[in-house]
Chains A and B, each alone.
Chain A
Amino acid sequence: MFGLSTERAPSPTLVVPYFIFSAIAFLIFSVLLLFSIPELGLHFMNPKILALTHFAALGWISMIIMGAVYQLVPVIFETGLYSQKLGKLNFVIFGLGILGMVWSFWTMHFKNYLFVFGGLVFFAFLLFSFNIFKSIIRSNKCHFSGKLVLSAILWLLLTGLLGFLLTLNYTFPFLKQDQFNVLKTHAHFGMIGWLLFLVMGVSSVLIPMFLVSHDLKDGFLKKALYLCNFALLLISIDWLAFAGTLWISVYFLIFFLGFSYFLKYIFDAYRKKLRKLDVGMKHTMISFVFLLIPAVLAGLLSLSGWLDMPEINQLIIPYGLSIFVGFFSNLILGQMYKTLPFILWLHRYKHLVGKKEIPMPKDLYSEQLAQWQYYIYLLAVLFFALGFLFEKSFLQYTGAVLLIVTALLFNVNVFIIVFSKRQRAFIEI
């Protein structure tokens, strides 16, 4: 009906498990982070850091993003999802792959099992990509936001492929390149190509929609799309084929230029907003401000070839944490409140709209808990930043404890949204 049907939205039974897995993974990640504080000062290739990184990138961030993308296909591409069954299979395989992979890293089973779970994760990426591509083919709408999402999925496949090759290499050594360069490429394919480009594509649709901002210039998105993808391609060729040259800082500069166009688009949406920021949007908007931290660190790291300072590599862990905890977690902690309540509201109350008094999506969670979550999260980031700046582990421990509290509050709200019977009582009114 009317070409904009909620009938196209997938069933909550497909999407909600992604959100629940992700929320629990965030809590476990926060607890593991607390017990890994001593490792944060070591080399990033140590098993616990690898386990933590993959748990955050896959279990917490990618899991919820995949669920959200399944939900958002009709919004971004104005078409239905190709297969919900495939999406459910994707969840099971991805979940098993993540748990096995993190366990293999944590317990240092690099040779025996890692490639099996790496293979499962890669297979899950293939299923996800196939499902999304098959859906998009049926759509005739693919603006720059959609193209950013498409490019993110291509980078996801490359991330998975490189990651799988790296896990195979532990058991059957065959890679001729320096493993460190392959790992760096894999990490940047994942963090920038997959996660960041996807966030750019999705948020360029959702942020103006949530802020009720109009008259935004698509040209900024176009420049961001081409410049960022071009820069990442150059960075990966440089690392994989030339083992890292001095040109890398130039490529990062091109990337920053492209990304600044995207930030300009988001800033415009913020400037033209007609709506007051709620807690979800506060998290979202501040996450873009926090991006300054990894941007500065990435700039410094890309200069490592020019500066003869081996200690600069100590910035790699703060760099990773600032991206995963400072940006992606921040964004997701906010966007959950804009998506999950709406998904379940639609499912529970759509047929009652206009017939009975029903709650609004915002009534499905505790606003007060969400506010606490926001401020405690900001404190957690502050303590982590001060801990790294002054090299004081007690500040990092405080940050980790605050992050656990954040994760607990987030989980309570996720479970209230999904399972609370209080809201269902509205149906009986």
Chain B
Amino acid sequence: MITNTHESDQKWYERIKKLFGSKKKMVHPAFSDVHGTELIPDNSFESQVKGILKKVIDPELEINIVDLGLIYKVEQDETNRIFVEMTLSTPACPIGDVIVQNVIDTLQNAYPSKDVDVSLVFDPPWHPGLLTEVGKKALRGNFD
């Protein structure tokens, strides 16, 4: 059961759920990790950070990096440092550093008292299975 989700996320989740019927197991992509394992979808720190990172848009694809499935891991340690592990849709991405810097700036704006550490990884490499349903629809130019 999903509680306390972002309002817009909840809307499309309900729509998809309705489309496929309640028998099908649906894992909200924002609440599953890179391996598809269901996370506890609550008002966790990871969910908050992912919600904030939806402001970071890939300028070529015009989709936010969360729905693109680029964020692998979000953690916070005891020293209040935010650690983000992320990837790019291709290692040859010509604006990789712009996206990473945007992640840092966006999180530092949201959490001025915390340090932000971003780690860029290509193992496991990004694959289309990491796209959320919203991401898939946006790529196809279908936002309904």
Q: Which residues of A contact B (CB under 8 A)?
A: 1-2, 4-7, 9, 74-76, 78, 205, 208-210, 212, 214-215, 274-276, 342, 345-346, 350, 353-355, 360-362
Cβ-defined contact, B136 with A354, below 8 A:
no
Pairs across A and B, CB under 8 Å, 22 listed: A1-B101, A2-B100, A4-B91, A4-B93, A4-B97, A5-B96, A6-B96, A9-B94, A76-B92, A209-B89, A209-B93, A212-B61, A212-B139, A274-B139, A276-B142, A342-B94, A345-B59, A346-B94, A346-B98, A353-B98, A353-B101, A360-B57
B14-71 residues with Cβ-Cβ distance < 8 A to A are 55-57, 59-62
In angstroms, Cα B40 to Cα A349, docked, is 38
Cβ-defined contact, B61 with A6, below 8 A:
no
Cβ-defined contact, A354 with B56, below 8 A:
yes
In angstroms, Cα B122 to Cα A214, docked, is 14
Out of A9, A209, A350, name the residue touching B92 (CB < 8 Å).
A209
Q: How far is the CB of B122 from chain A (nearest CB, A)?
A: 10
In angstroms, Cα B101 to Cα A146, docked, is 28
Cβ-defined contact, B139 with A4, below 8 A:
no
Complex interface bits, B63-86 against A, C-beta within 8 A gives 1, otherwise 0: 000000000000000000000000
Residues of B within 8 A of A274 (CB): 128, 131, 136, 139-140
Out of A1, A7, A9, A355, name the residue touching B105 (CB < 8 Å).
A355
A-B Cβ contacts below 8 A, count: 82
In angstroms, Cα B4 to Cα A329, docked, is 53
Is the C-beta of B10 less than 8 angstroms from some C-beta in chain A?
A: no
Cβ-defined contact, A360 with B139, below 8 A:
no
In angstroms, Cα B56 to Cα A353, docked, is 9
In angstroms, Cα B95 to Cα A353, docked, is 11
Q: How far is the CB of B52 from chain A (nearest CB, A)?
A: 11
Size of the B side of the interface (Cβ < 8 Å), in residues, is 34
Is the C-beta of B6 less than 8 angstroms from some C-beta in chain A?
A: no
Q: Given that A4-B88, A76-B92, A275-B61 are known contacts, is A350 also in contact with B140, CB under 8 Å in the complex?
A: no
If A6-B96, A361-B59 are given as contacts, then 9 extra A-B residue pairs at C-beta distance below 8 Å, sorted by A number, are A2-B100, A4-B94, A4-B96, A4-B97, A210-B60, A274-B128, A353-B98, A354-B105, A355-B105
Interchain residue pairs A-B with the least CB separation, the first 5:
A4-B96, A354-B102, A276-B141, A354-B105, A275-B139
Residues of B within 8 A of A4 (CB): 88, 91, 93-94, 96-97, 120
Cβ-defined contact, A214 with B105, below 8 A:
no
Is the C-beta of B106 less than 8 angstroms from some C-beta in chain A?
A: yes
In angstroms, Cα B136 to Cα A276, docked, is 10
Complex interface bits, B102-144 against A, C-beta within 8 A gives 1, otherwise 0: 1001100100000000001000001110010000100111100
Q: How far is the CB of B71 from chain A (nearest CB, A)?
A: 15
Residues of A within 8 A of B96 (CB): 2, 4-6
Q: How far is the CB of A337 from chain B (nearest CB, A)?
A: 12
Q: How far is the CB of B70 from chain A (nearest CB, A)?
A: 12
In angstroms, Cα B102 to Cα A346, docked, is 13
B89's nearest neighbour on chain A, judged by CB, is A212
Residues of A within 8 A of B97 (CB): 1-2, 4-7
Q: Given that A7-B97, A209-B90 are known contacts, is A214 also in contact with B127, CB under 8 Å in the complex?
A: yes
B62's nearest neighbour on chain A, judged by CB, is A360
Q: How far is the CB of A307 from chain B (nearest CB, A)?
A: 46
B120's nearest neighbour on chain A, judged by CB, is A2
B95's nearest neighbour on chain A, judged by CB, is A6
In angstroms, Cα B53 to Cα A68, docked, is 32
Residues of B within 8 A of A215 (CB): 127
Residues of B within 8 A of A353 (CB): 59, 98, 101-102, 105
A1, A215, A345: most-surrounded residue (chain B CB, <10 A): A1
Residues of A within 8 A of B128 (CB): 212, 214, 274
Cβ-defined contact, A360 with B59, below 8 A:
yes
B68's nearest neighbour on chain A, judged by CB, is A212
In angstroms, Cα B59 to Cα A350, docked, is 10
Cβ-defined contact, B140 with A275, below 8 A:
yes
Residues of A within 8 A of B59 (CB): 342, 345, 353, 360-361
In angstroms, Cα B99 to Cα A6, docked, is 10
Residues of A within 8 A of B89 (CB): 209, 212
Q: How far is the CB of A210 from chain B (nearest CB, A)?
A: 7
Residues of A within 8 A of B140 (CB): 274-276
Residues of B within 8 A of A7 (CB): 97
Cβ-defined contact, B94 with A75, below 8 A:
yes
Cβ-defined contact, B92 with A205, below 8 A:
yes
B107's nearest neighbour on chain A, judged by CB, is A354
